[in-house]
Structure formats: structure tokens, C-alpha cells
Copies of this chain bind each other. A is one copy, B any other.
């Protein structure tokens, strides 16, 4: 029957395509042999940068690793992550910078003091091999406003324990940080609920 022949041919084509794909994937895995801590940067204007960082923390905890988190910008909608990850005090060290968004404080000196204090905590994590993964959420914003010195960040990343992973989020990542990173994702807005008049709501990043 022609229908059966068609189905068999389709299954065979699928198998051949997937065999070729598997060969490509397996060769890539065979080539990737270096094991060391990586620096992951997520930047761009799209949504999902901080969420991806917190998802990586969740995955790390699932593997029994220990994580440190410093949030460089405290927003009224960032409280969900904090409430959640503070449940795991044994596995996650959590620090939130003690001020609001920069356009809320409107005070550069106060912002710099808060960001410097947050950076000191981050620097201590980056010097401590007990942290398998360190998330520096919205650090790029602090770098953009020059609240934290880029050179200090690059030096701390270079000197960190060799197996430690670091995830840095925030739009406008500086080029020198991109150059220093191992994996960089640019998150671009295709569309945004906010543009259509939909309100920010509890428990969802629009």
C-alpha cells in the first residue's frame, strides 16, 4: 500500500537525518575536552536575562552545588527570586543591594555606596572556592553607570578559583567583559506585553 510505503520512507529519512545530526553533535562533544569554570554573560534589551541567571542557580542546586547571588539592582518585582532562594540558606548565599532602581534614588553618591558594598560581597565570593557558581545579577547596569569599576571586575574574574562558574546579567555589557567571557547571549525584544498595555504582575516577568 502506498500509504505504508510513504510512512516507511518518512521514518527512514528521519532516521538518516537524525544519524547525521547525531554524528555532528557527537563530534562536537568529542572536541570539547576542557573542564574549567566558565563566565556566562547575558545581555541585551530583551526579557529573560535575570531569569536565566536564576534558572542556572536552580540547576546548580539540583546538582548539589553551592551558589552565591548578589543582586546589584533591587526592583520591586525582583522580590520573588529573593523570597524563593532565601529558603536555601545552606546552599545559597544571597545578597541584595540595599537601594531601589537608580532612577528612583536619583542620588549618585548613595547609589555608588550601595553598589560598592554589594561589589565587596561579590569580590569575596569570587575569591572563595566554596562557591561553585556565583550570579552577579544586573552587574552590567552598575558597570554602565560606573558605580563599580570594570577593571576590578575583570581582575576578580581572572583571579577566581579555576572551577568556579560566574553568571553576569544586565543590558549593555561592556565589550571588555564580553571579551573575557566564555559564553555570551544577546537577548533581543521581539515583542513585549508591556508595549501592549499589559501590567507587570506578581510572579511573572513580562
Contacts and interface: CB of A to CB of B under 8 A. Distances in A.
A5 interface: no
Query: Contact size class for A?
Result: 35 or more
Nearest to A185: B46
A58 B38 contact: no
A194 B30 CA distance: 11
Contacts of A200: 29, 32
A194 B194 CA distance: 35
Contact of A206 (B11, B58, B62, B183): B183
Contact of A199 (B18, B32, B52): B32
Interface string A1-41: 00000000011001100110110010011011111101011
B62 A52 contact: no
Contact of A65 (B132, B182, B203): B203
Contacts of A105: 18
Given A51-B52, A185-B188, A62 B46 contact: no
Interface string A164-195: 01000000000000100111111111111110
A62 B43 CA distance: 24
Contact of A133 (B63, B197, B204): B204
A89 interface: no
Interface stretch (A80-88, A113-121, A122-130): A80-88
A7 to B, nearest CB: 9
A165 B56 contact: no
B187 A185 contact: yes
In this complex, the member of A21, A22, A46, A56 whose beta carbon has the largest number of chain B beta carbons within 10 angstroms is A56
A20 to B, nearest CB: 9
16 contacts: A14-B108, A15-B107, A21-B103, A29-B199, A31-B197, A32-B197, A46-B185, A48-B49, A48-B185, A51-B52, A52-B55, A58-B84, A62-B80, A63-B79, A178-B191, A183-B191
